[in-house]
Amino acid sequence: MQLSQSTEYAIHSLFYLAVNNNRQTVLVSEIARAQNISESYLAKIFQGLVKAGLVRSYRGAKGGYHLAVPAEKITLKNIMQAVEGTSPIYTCDHDRRDCDFVVDCLITATMKKAEKKMYEILDKITLEKLIENAEELRNQMKWLDSIPK
Protein backbone atom coordinates (compact mmCIF):
# COMPACT_ATOMS: atom_id res chain seq x y z
CA MET A 1 0.00 0.00 0.00
CA GLN A 2 1.77 3.08 -1.24
CA LEU A 3 0.94 6.69 -1.81
CA SER A 4 0.81 7.70 -5.45
CA GLN A 5 3.55 9.82 -6.90
CA SER A 6 0.99 12.56 -7.31
CA THR A 7 0.87 12.90 -3.54
CA GLU A 8 4.61 13.28 -3.38
CA TYR A 9 4.46 15.94 -6.07
CA ALA A 10 1.67 17.73 -4.22
CA ILE A 11 3.45 17.78 -0.88
CA HIS A 12 6.65 19.17 -2.31
CA SER A 13 4.78 21.67 -4.46
CA LEU A 14 2.74 22.98 -1.56
CA PHE A 15 5.89 23.20 0.50
CA TYR A 16 7.40 25.26 -2.29
CA LEU A 17 4.34 27.50 -2.31
CA ALA A 18 4.49 27.89 1.45
CA VAL A 19 8.12 28.95 1.30
CA ASN A 20 7.26 31.48 -1.41
CA ASN A 21 4.05 32.62 0.20
CA ASN A 22 5.26 36.20 0.36
CA ARG A 23 5.09 36.45 -3.42
CA GLN A 24 1.80 37.35 -5.07
CA THR A 25 1.67 34.22 -7.21
CA VAL A 26 3.91 31.39 -8.28
CA LEU A 27 3.75 29.75 -11.68
CA VAL A 28 3.13 26.04 -12.02
CA SER A 29 5.93 25.98 -14.57
CA GLU A 30 8.35 27.26 -11.95
CA ILE A 31 7.24 24.68 -9.40
CA ALA A 32 7.56 21.89 -11.93
CA ARG A 33 11.01 23.05 -12.91
CA ALA A 34 12.12 23.21 -9.29
CA GLN A 35 11.25 19.56 -8.86
CA ASN A 36 12.24 18.43 -12.31
CA ILE A 37 8.84 16.93 -13.04
CA SER A 38 6.32 17.18 -15.86
CA GLU A 39 4.68 20.58 -15.95
CA SER A 40 1.45 19.52 -17.64
CA TYR A 41 0.94 16.74 -15.17
CA LEU A 42 1.61 18.98 -12.20
CA ALA A 43 -0.91 21.42 -13.67
CA LYS A 44 -3.53 18.69 -13.46
CA ILE A 45 -2.64 18.00 -9.86
CA PHE A 46 -2.99 21.67 -9.05
CA GLN A 47 -6.50 21.71 -10.46
CA GLY A 48 -7.34 19.17 -7.80
CA LEU A 49 -5.63 21.17 -5.08
CA VAL A 50 -7.74 24.18 -6.05
CA LYS A 51 -10.92 22.12 -5.80
CA ALA A 52 -9.80 20.82 -2.44
CA GLY A 53 -9.43 24.39 -1.27
CA LEU A 54 -5.72 24.20 -0.50
CA VAL A 55 -4.53 26.69 -3.12
CA ARG A 56 -6.04 29.60 -4.96
CA SER A 57 -5.50 30.12 -8.65
CA TYR A 58 -5.19 33.39 -10.52
CA ARG A 59 -5.69 33.26 -14.24
CA GLY A 60 -4.21 35.44 -16.88
CA ALA A 61 -1.03 37.41 -17.04
CA LYS A 62 0.74 37.67 -13.69
CA GLY A 63 -1.43 34.78 -12.64
CA GLY A 64 -0.37 31.61 -10.90
CA TYR A 65 -0.99 29.98 -7.57
CA HIS A 66 -0.99 30.97 -3.95
CA LEU A 67 -1.89 29.10 -0.77
CA ALA A 68 -5.60 29.42 -0.08
CA VAL A 69 -5.08 29.17 3.68
CA PRO A 70 -2.10 29.91 5.92
CA ALA A 71 0.71 27.37 5.97
CA GLU A 72 0.02 26.57 9.60
CA LYS A 73 -3.43 25.29 8.65
CA ILE A 74 -2.37 22.86 5.96
CA THR A 75 -1.41 19.42 7.23
CA LEU A 76 0.03 16.39 5.50
CA LYS A 77 -3.33 14.74 6.07
CA ASN A 78 -5.07 17.54 4.19
CA ILE A 79 -2.72 17.18 1.25
CA MET A 80 -2.89 13.44 1.18
CA GLN A 81 -6.68 13.38 1.23
CA ALA A 82 -6.89 16.13 -1.35
CA VAL A 83 -4.92 13.99 -3.79
CA GLU A 84 -5.84 10.44 -2.85
CA GLY A 85 -9.41 11.00 -1.80
CA THR A 86 -11.04 10.12 1.47
CA SER A 87 -12.42 6.66 0.88
CA PRO A 88 -11.32 4.18 3.55
CA ILE A 89 -8.36 1.89 2.99
CA TYR A 90 -10.52 -1.19 3.46
CA THR A 91 -13.98 -1.86 2.16
CA CYS A 92 -15.84 -5.11 1.77
CA ASP A 93 -18.06 -6.00 -1.11
CA HIS A 94 -21.05 -7.25 0.81
CA ASP A 95 -22.86 -8.16 -2.37
CA ARG A 96 -20.35 -10.51 -3.91
CA ARG A 97 -19.64 -12.72 -0.99
CA ASP A 98 -22.05 -14.86 0.93
CA CYS A 99 -21.03 -12.28 3.46
CA ASP A 100 -20.30 -12.87 7.09
CA PHE A 101 -21.37 -9.45 8.24
CA VAL A 102 -20.18 -9.90 11.78
CA VAL A 103 -16.60 -10.76 10.85
CA ASP A 104 -16.55 -8.17 8.15
CA CYS A 105 -17.64 -5.43 10.47
CA LEU A 106 -14.88 -6.37 12.90
CA ILE A 107 -12.24 -6.21 10.19
CA THR A 108 -13.60 -2.96 8.82
CA ALA A 109 -13.71 -1.40 12.28
CA THR A 110 -10.11 -2.41 12.93
CA MET A 111 -8.95 -1.00 9.63
CA LYS A 112 -10.79 2.24 10.27
CA LYS A 113 -9.12 2.57 13.65
CA ALA A 114 -5.68 1.92 12.20
CA GLU A 115 -6.33 4.45 9.47
CA LYS A 116 -7.43 6.99 12.03
CA LYS A 117 -4.21 6.56 14.00
CA MET A 118 -2.21 7.16 10.89
CA TYR A 119 -4.12 10.31 10.05
CA GLU A 120 -3.75 11.60 13.59
CA ILE A 121 -0.01 11.77 13.07
CA LEU A 122 -0.28 13.27 9.63
CA ASP A 123 -2.74 15.87 10.85
CA LYS A 124 -0.21 17.17 13.35
CA ILE A 125 2.37 18.17 10.78
CA THR A 126 1.67 21.41 8.99
CA LEU A 127 3.58 23.05 6.16
CA GLU A 128 4.65 25.70 8.62
CA LYS A 129 6.14 23.10 10.96
CA LEU A 130 8.00 21.54 8.08
CA ILE A 131 9.51 24.90 7.22
CA GLU A 132 10.48 25.60 10.81
CA ASN A 133 11.98 22.22 11.45
CA ALA A 134 13.83 22.23 8.17
CA GLU A 135 15.36 25.59 9.04
CA GLU A 136 16.39 24.33 12.44
CA LEU A 137 17.91 21.18 11.02
CA ARG A 138 19.80 23.12 8.43
CA ASN A 139 21.32 25.36 11.07
CA GLN A 140 22.42 22.36 13.04
CA MET A 141 24.03 20.96 9.96
CA LYS A 142 26.06 24.04 9.11
CA TRP A 143 29.24 22.38 10.30
CA LEU A 144 28.95 20.26 7.16
CA ASP A 145 30.11 23.30 5.22
CA SER A 146 33.47 23.07 6.92
CA ILE A 147 34.20 19.83 5.13
CA PRO A 148 36.31 20.60 2.06
CA LYS A 149 34.81 19.60 -1.25
Partner DNA sequence: TATATTTGGATAATAATTGTCCGAATTATC
Partner DNA sequence: GATAATTCGGACAATTATTATCCAAATATA
Binding site for DNA (CB under 7 A): 4-6, 27-29, 37-41, 43-44, 46-47, 50, 57-65
State how far the Cα of 101 lies from the Cα of 107, in Å rounded to an integer.
Answer: 10
**Whole-angstrom distance, CA of residue 149 vs CA of residue 143:** 13
CA dist 58 and 26 (Å) reads: 10
With contacts defined by CB under 8 A, name the span among 20-28, 31-39, 42-50, 60-68 that binds its own copies. Answer: 31-39
Tell me the H-state helices in 20-93: 28-35, 39-51, 76-84
Report, in Å, the least distance between residue 53 CB and its own copies: 20
Binding residues (CB under 8 A) for its own copies: these are 1-4, 7-8, 11-12, 15, 34-37, 76, 80, 84, 87-93, 96-98, 100, 102-103, 105-107, 110-111, 113-115, 117-122, 125, 130, 133-134, 137-138, 141
